[in-house]
A and B are shown apart, each in its own frame.
Chain A
Amino acid sequence: MKTIRTDVLIVGGGGAGFRAAIAARQANAETLLVSKGPLARCGASPMAGADLTCHGLGMRQAGFFGEPRDSEEKFFSDIVHQGCFLNDQPLAERFVRDGPQRLIETLEWGCEPYLCDERAIFTSGVGIVDAHLSEARRLGTSFLDDTAVLELIVHDGQVCGAVGLDIRSGEILRFDCHAVVLATGGWHKAYTPVTGSKELTGDGVAMAYRAGAKVANMEFVTFACNVPVWPPVWRGSIVTYAMSLMCGGTLENANRERFLDQYDPETVAIASSTEWNKSFFSFATAREIRAGRGTPHGGVYYVTGDTPWPEFEARALRSYPDWKVKGADFSELGRMLRDGEGVEVAGAAEYFEGGVLVDDRFASSVPGLFAAGECAMSLFGANRVAAATMEMLVSGAIAGTAAGEFAQSHPSSEPPEDRVRTATEAIEAPLRKPSGHGIGHLRHDLQEAASAMLGPVRCGEELEAFLRMLEDARSDRLPNLGLSTTTRSYNKEWIESLEIENLLLVLELSARAALERTESRGVHYREDHPITDNDGWLREIVMSPNRDGVHVEHRPVRVTSLRPPSGTQPYLEMVREMMCAHSDVGGHH
């Protein structure tokens, strides 16, 4: 087995990982970044639209138009209201404070903005990650791509290494290190459709949890609204999501009713013009589908609505000349909108608020283990409106510095051989199962079930059924599924067998938390508990492994300057109140 030694091991080849690598190198730590897919072309970062949010004064510092009336306090207040007061306020303060510097350096490192508004620059996700990758490279980071890190080794009370798989060759790799930064993103692959890449299977959260780390807020999942579900080639594209923000339009159910009309007009108006759209429209869409008013392929129709076609088309073509989007041709989509057919859309899994519980330095509860970006517990609380791209840069920088310093002040011992052997055997176990077939099929079933039962709208009965299904998959189906081939080279079924273990774990934690939270807040709506309960539930659900299974505790949210509300109120009233509490700063955030 090949052993690779480094001070800091960074797991994840997207924005959070690159920013952490830059910070760890600046702290003079030897740094290796391992990416499951191609560098800067996997995960969710390069798929983002992308905006990079910062308060108006920071925008002006960076040389852009920015709202002069804006302030750190206003941006912080807006983020906490958008998060329905479940934000970790110390981390949200860091996000606001560090934003301007992260924005300025991103531009210095070569990312080119093409638009801006009061609180954001608009660029491409690819532009953001490429700029950070080249800076990480310039500072001497080592890289390994197409390699999955699958298990952490903890010894003498701290992380000392990890074991992974070279996906192309099938070789097992051992990493000896003094600190680890997880930057592995979400678990998009548990759902369909999704807006992230296929390798996002919650690997970081799952291995952190297995290593004893606490995870939090696992019940909250943000769905991008208005994402095509049909035809298959468009499934998961954010093109209609972006179009709905730029060009307007509305949604119709299978009976061709404009179902948004039944909601408070102000709520719909605010959702239409800001990134509150994700949570509110995905919620309203899921309700129509659950009521049996969905389209043939499980969505609703996105139509041009009150926007006259020439105006709609002109706005669309401004961003998507010739209906071309990053190499893909959407002219047929334009025709469907023009002719009033509409496009079948629904919410698509996009962002996972839940993740590894972290402190102010993005350190987990396991010494030497840090987490950044989407795999860490979100600072956005129960609902994200500001940009996750900025969150990944802010958290990556803090985690990378902390890990670099930790690695040099707390050298770990070598990973014990027997622990490495156990991890290796677990990775190779699928190769030794009797031949069979159907891993892809099982994953497909999980995706359908998670999307239906752990989507924007939940209820206790379904969550319990979903948990039973996960248990059945783990104890009955998975053990009987072998591989069609035992080759080690790019064996898709082998990779998926390992991923499914992680997906089953994060889905179980997410469903348990969703069942536990008997209220509705942010992106978590319970049909059977449609009330926001500020007296009982301004608490995070924190989970950790213990001998009997999952240990669940409640942690009151950490508050700095914004006192949370009290009392209970219907979900939609709380949403409206949080929307209307926005400061006098315009823009999409």
Chain B
Amino acid sequence: MNETIRFRIRRSPADGGAGNGYQEYDVPFTRGMSVMDGLDYIYEHLDGSLAYYDHAACNQGICRRCLARIDGQTGLLCQTLVTADTTVEPIPTQDVERDLVTKRGRDRNG
């Protein structure tokens, strides 16, 4: 039952992704876990420097702000189920703020 899966995550250069590369983490696998659950595990237990857009995440597929590229497909971190080793990257068409957080969708005229 102590199955683990490997997350391969694209990091910003200053945050462990030397040469704009990837960092890998082993995460305990649970059936019915989302990519967001995996990232939460990494953040809480393995690497608190990891950035992904979740400070205001709804976790229910409603806010749609946790979009990322998951194994090459664009999807919501909170609604995409993990079934095997998983690669997570920022949305390629958007500038990166840090790690998986992109500069999309700011709303300000203040």
Please indicate whether A and B come from the same complex rather than being unrelated chains: yes
Closest residue of B by beta carbon distance from A200: B56
Q: Tell me how far the C-beta of A72 lies from the nearest C-beta in chain B, rounded to whole angstroms.
A: 34
| Bound complex: CA A402 to CA B28 (Å) | 53
Interface hits, A168-206 → B, CB 8 Å? 168, 197-199
Q: Which of chain A's residues have a CB closer than 8 A to the CB of B59?
A: 197-198, 235-236
Let me know if B106 and A232 touch, CB within 8 A. no
Interface hits, A225-256 → B, CB 8 Å? 230-237
Closest residue of B by beta carbon distance from A485: B49
Q: Which of A126, A327, A487, A492 has the most CB of B within 10 A?
A: A492
| Bound complex: CA A36 to CA B50 (Å) | 20
Q: Tell me how far the C-beta of A199 lies from the nearest C-beta in chain B, rounded to whole angstroms.
A: 4
Let me know if B98 and A232 touch, CB within 8 A. no
Let me know if A328 and B32 touch, CB within 8 A. no
Interface status of B97 (Cβ within 8 A of chain A)? yes
Interface status of A299 (Cβ within 8 A of chain B)? no
Let me know if B107 and A39 touch, CB within 8 A. yes
Other-chain contact of B108, A42, A144, A197, A444 (Cβ < 8 Å): A144
Let me know if B34 and A46 touch, CB within 8 A. no
Interface hits, A530-563 → B, CB 8 Å? none
Interface hits, A36-51 → B, CB 8 Å? 36-39, 41-42, 46-47
Other-chain contact of A440, B43, B58, B61 (Cβ < 8 Å): B43
Contact residues of B: prevailing secondary structure: loop
Q: Which of chain A's residues have a CB closer than 8 A to the CB of B32?
A: 230-234
Let me know if A47 and B15 touch, CB within 8 A. no
Closest residue of B by beta carbon distance from A495: B55
A484/B49 contact (C-beta < 8 A), A37-B55, A167-B55, A441-B44 known: yes
| A 465-499 to B, binary, CB cutoff 8 A, 1 in contact else 0 | 00000000000000000011101011111010000
Interface status of B51 (Cβ within 8 A of chain A)? yes
Interface status of B94 (Cβ within 8 A of chain A)? no
Closest residue of A by beta carbon distance from B81: A233
Other-chain contact of B64, A34, A41, A144, A491 (Cβ < 8 Å): A41
Let me know if B56 and A36 touch, CB within 8 A. yes
Q: Which of chain A's residues have a CB closer than 8 A to the CB of B81?
A: 233
Q: Which of chain A's residues have a CB closer than 8 A to the CB of B54?
A: 198, 492
Interface hits, B73-110 → A, CB 8 Å? 76, 78-79, 81, 97-99, 101, 103, 105-110
Interface status of A146 (Cβ within 8 A of chain B)? yes
Let me know if B55 and A198 touch, CB within 8 A. yes
Interface status of B5 (Cβ within 8 A of chain A)? no
Other-chain contact of B37, A232, A441, A444 (Cβ < 8 Å): A232
Q: Tell me how far the C-beta of A508 lies from the nearest C-beta in chain B, rounded to whole angstroms.
A: 23
Q: Which of chain A's residues have a CB closer than 8 A to the CB of B61?
A: 325-328
Let me know if A47 and B30 touch, CB within 8 A. no
Let me know if B56 and A492 touch, CB within 8 A. no
Interface status of B18 (Cβ within 8 A of chain A)? no
Q: Tell me how far the C-beta of B94 lies from the nearest C-beta in chain A, rounded to whole angstroms.
A: 13
Let me know if B110 and A144 touch, CB within 8 A. yes
A492/B45 contact (C-beta < 8 A), A41-B63, A232-B32, A233-B37 known: no
Interface status of A213 (Cβ within 8 A of chain B)? no
Interface status of A437 (Cβ within 8 A of chain B)? yes
Other-chain contact of A145, B31, B64, B106 (Cβ < 8 Å): B106
Interface hits, A107-161 → B, CB 8 Å? 125-126, 142-146
Other-chain contact of A47, B62, B64, B79 (Cβ < 8 Å): B62
Q: Tell me how far the C-beta of B16 lies from the nearest C-beta in chain A, rounded to whole angstroms.
A: 9
Closest residue of A by beta carbon distance from B99: A490
A439/B108 contact (C-beta < 8 A), A38-B65, A231-B32, A236-B60 known: no
| Bound complex: CA A277 to CA B62 (Å) | 24
Interface status of B19 (Cβ within 8 A of chain A)? no
| Bound complex: CA A144 to CA B30 (Å) | 38
Interface status of A284 (Cβ within 8 A of chain B)? no
Q: Which of chain B's residues have a CB closer than 8 A to the CB of A493?
A: 48-49
| A 325-344 to B, binary, CB cutoff 8 A, 1 in contact else 0 | 11111000000000000000
Closest residue of B by beta carbon distance from A436: B48
Q: Which of chain A's residues have a CB closer than 8 A to the CB of B64?
A: 41, 327
Interface status of B47 (Cβ within 8 A of chain A)? yes
Q: Which of chain B's residues have a CB closer than 8 A to the CB of A4?
A: 110
Q: Which of chain A's residues have a CB closer than 8 A to the CB of B49?
A: 484-485, 487, 491, 493
Closest residue of B by beta carbon distance from A4: B110
Q: Which of A197, A441, A487 has the most CB of B within 10 A?
A: A197
Interface status of B1 (Cβ within 8 A of chain A)? no
Contact sample, A vs B, 16 pairs, CB 8 Å cutoff: A37-B63, A37-B65, A38-B65, A46-B63, A143-B108, A144-B110, A145-B106, A198-B58, A325-B61, A329-B79, A440-B43, A441-B45, A485-B49, A487-B98, A489-B97, A490-B55
B-side residues, CB < 8 A to A, are 14-15, 30-34, 37, 40, 43-45, 47-65, 76, 78-79, 81, 97-99, 101, 103, 105-110
Apart from the given pairs A168-B97, A328-B60, A492-B43, 11 other A-B contacts in the complex at a CB distance below 8 Å: A41-B62, A142-B109, A143-B107, A232-B30, A326-B61, A328-B61, A440-B40, A441-B45, A485-B48, A487-B15, A493-B49
